[in-house]
Structure 1
Amino acid sequence: MMANSDYTLIDSKTGNLALKIYSIKKDNPFNEVQRLSYYSLIWIKKGGGIAKSDFAEHGFGENTLFSFSPYQPFTLDAPDLEAEVIHFHPDFFCIHKHQKEVACDGVLFNNIYNPPMVKIDMDSIVKLGMVVDQMRGEMQQPELAQYELLVSYLKIFLITASRLKNEQREEIEGKVNQNEEPFVLQKLKDYINQHYKTKHSASDYADMLTISPKALAKLTKSYFNKTLTDLISERIIIEAKRELYLTDKTVKEIAYELGYDDEYYFSRFFKKKAEVSPLIYRKNVGFAKATMA
């Protein structure tokens, strides 16, 4: 790792990392499982290998951008990498609170149906490279309203990447929409979004779609590279994390709203999926107080 390319901004109120930008040159710190308490954008410039995230594996090569949410487990299994890395804490920039401005929640982050990666094309290489350089320059020489300017640069980066991922997703969906199967899966997405708080079993969704559980399981695995149970669990965990950060509701209240009468069962379920308890997640990621902008 090149020390002269490592820039870190610390939150003066909490003492925690707010924003960090650094380069990787050949060494790969992501070979081991990562569970970071902030958002991570990892732009692979050279190298390739296998990315493992949540319940799936994906091959990747150069000019791939990965986007991981707080405590989303991942590894990048590759011998050598050259990459640009941006870490930012939710308190520095909350994608939930700024969804209307940036619209990366559900696209770059928290998208249970698509891999957490996007291929960077030639035009975007130039745009994103310029933004990273501008962020580095601003962090190197702090000036008036540094925080606001850095947030603006980060927004440009996220919007550019989100647009690109949407374009690539539409191309893929356009190719497969000639079949009947994606219609069933689109209905499945709709049903999960509507009912994940009350229906937690795969058989519930098979019944709603009037399809056998075995056939639905095969379809889900084929198109999403995940089981239906995995998809349901991920959707529940995403909402739980959002509630833990955005509200001061108790774990018991959040559990009940997500269809769990037993707070302790829910806490065990959360810890099994997120590798951290709900209380530790809130402690490290924090929650957005009413006084925050």
Structure 2
Amino acid sequence: MKQLVSDKKTGGDLLLINKEQDFDRLFYSRDQENKYFTIAWNRGEKQTVTIDGVVHEFMPNTILPLMFNQSFYFERATDVVAWQFNREFYCIIDHDAEVSCVGFLFGMGEELFISLDEPAQYKLQLLFNIFIEELNTPDNIQNEMLLVLLKRLIIFITRLARSKYIPDPKLHDERLDVFRKFNLLVEAHFRTQHSVNYYAQLLNKSPKTLSNLFALYNQKTPIQVIQSRIIIEAKRLLYYTNKSTKQITYELGFEDAAYFCNFFKRHTSLSPLEFRNGKEIVSVGK
């Protein structure tokens, strides 16, 4: 079952997907025009989810936020409840002060698997039931009601994610905001800007300050975050498109194809051509 509410004036879409046999996204082909953020909830037994060619374990009663530019499919889609929305329906960037999820829940560069305890399952089930009720009540305030519910859903999941990934409440302050803004800036500029200094200047911080801050939240350094995002995009372009290595080189802000090939091989142990020809699916345990 797929329920869709659209705003013809803004182009905003909100979808609720439940017990769909075939639920997936292929961003670099058929789904590129529909830039939907996804919040997926596995209500069944343990299964796998394949994200950009990498297989992850998707445990029972776990939430998985996914960016609009990720391609994915589920082993058992019928066990998954998912909310999808585009920026036209609710722009999480413009309304970051409301939900504080940008650069953390969405756009951190790594998948977040957020487990639900029994109280959280109960609350999410109630929220799901209200979504169903509002989707089945078409009136002149339906979109407003659904927007409020979506905000509540995002805030609820962001709180759960913080308690798991940032358990120390002392770190829930402006330092987290800098961390989130860095991730957001990398997402916006990684194709043209590859140096930590560039992002540090935008944030009015020194590169050393950023490195110290990342040590609190992430095992990666700032430069590793930038390079990891470039590699993710390179793999997507090699995996899902027919663009040449030279085209990908320039698209990702490199001036020399040989340098890009060396960069890619240093981080993946494969040349771009070897990766494309192999297209090996990698399993990641969670």
* Cα deviation code 1:217-262 (max 9, x no counterpart): xx9xx956xx65643538999xxxxxxxxxxxxxxxxxxxxxxxxx
Match of 1:250 in 2: none
Match of 2:6 in 1: 10
Structure 1 counterpart SS, 2:19: strand
How far off its partner does 1:165 sit? 0.3
2:194 is aligned with 1:200: yes
Q: Structure 1 unaligned segments of length 5 or more: list them.
A: 175-185, 210-218, 238-263, 271-293
Normalising by the residue count of structure 1, what TM-score does the alignment of the two structures yield? Answer: 0.57
Match of 1:138 in 2: 134
Match of 2:159 in 1: 163
Match of 1:23 in 2: 18
Letter in 2 for 1:99: D
Aligned with residue 95 of structure 1, among 83, 92, 96? 92
Match of 2:147 in 1: 151
Cα pair 1:108 1:117 within 8 Å, conserved: no
Question: 2:56 and 2:130 mapped to 1: Cα distance?
Answer: 31
How far off its partner does 1:73 sit? 2.7
* Cα deviation code 1:79-122 (max 9, x no counterpart): 5651111111110000001100111112211112x423311221
Aligned Cα RMSD in Å?
4.3
Structure 2 counterpart SS, 1:149: helix
Match of 1:48 in 2: 46
Question: 2:119 and 2:231 mapped to 1: Cα distance?
Answer: 33
How far off its partner does 1:66 sit? 1.3
Question: 1:50 and 1:83 mapped to 2: Cα distance?
Answer: 11
Structure 2 counterpart SS, 1:168: helix
Q: Which has the higher contact order (CA 8 A, sep 6+)?
A: 2
Match of 1:178 in 2: none
* Cα deviation code 1:5-49 (max 9, x no counterpart): x321122126x5611112126x3533x755542111111111333
Cα pair 2:48 2:56 within 8 Å, conserved: yes
Q: Structure 2 unaligned segments of length 5 or more: list them.
A: 170-175, 199-206, 209-214, 235-246, 254-286
Cα pair 2:36 2:68 within 8 Å, conserved: yes
Aligned with residue 230 of structure 2, among 230, 233, 247? 233
* Cα gap change, 1:149 to 1:44, in 2 (>3 Å): same
Letter in 2 for 1:133: N
2:111 is aligned with 1:126: no
* Cα gap change, 1:81 to 1:230, in 2 (>3 Å): farther
* Cα gap change, 1:59 to 1:18, in 2 (>3 Å): same
2:251 is aligned with 1:268: yes
2:80 is aligned with 1:83: yes
Normalising by the residue count of structure 2, what TM-score does the alignment of the two structures yield? Answer: 0.58
2:102 is aligned with 1:105: yes
Match of 2:61 in 1: 63
Question: 1:100 and 1:268 mapped to 2: Cα distance?
Answer: 32
Across the two proteins, how many residue pairs are aligned to each other?
208
Cα pair 1:17 1:89 within 8 Å, conserved: yes
How far off its partner does 1:138 sit? 1.0
Question: 2:87 and 2:154 mapped to 1: Cα distance?
Answer: 14
Structure 2 counterpart SS, 1:46: coil
Identity across matched positions, percent? 20
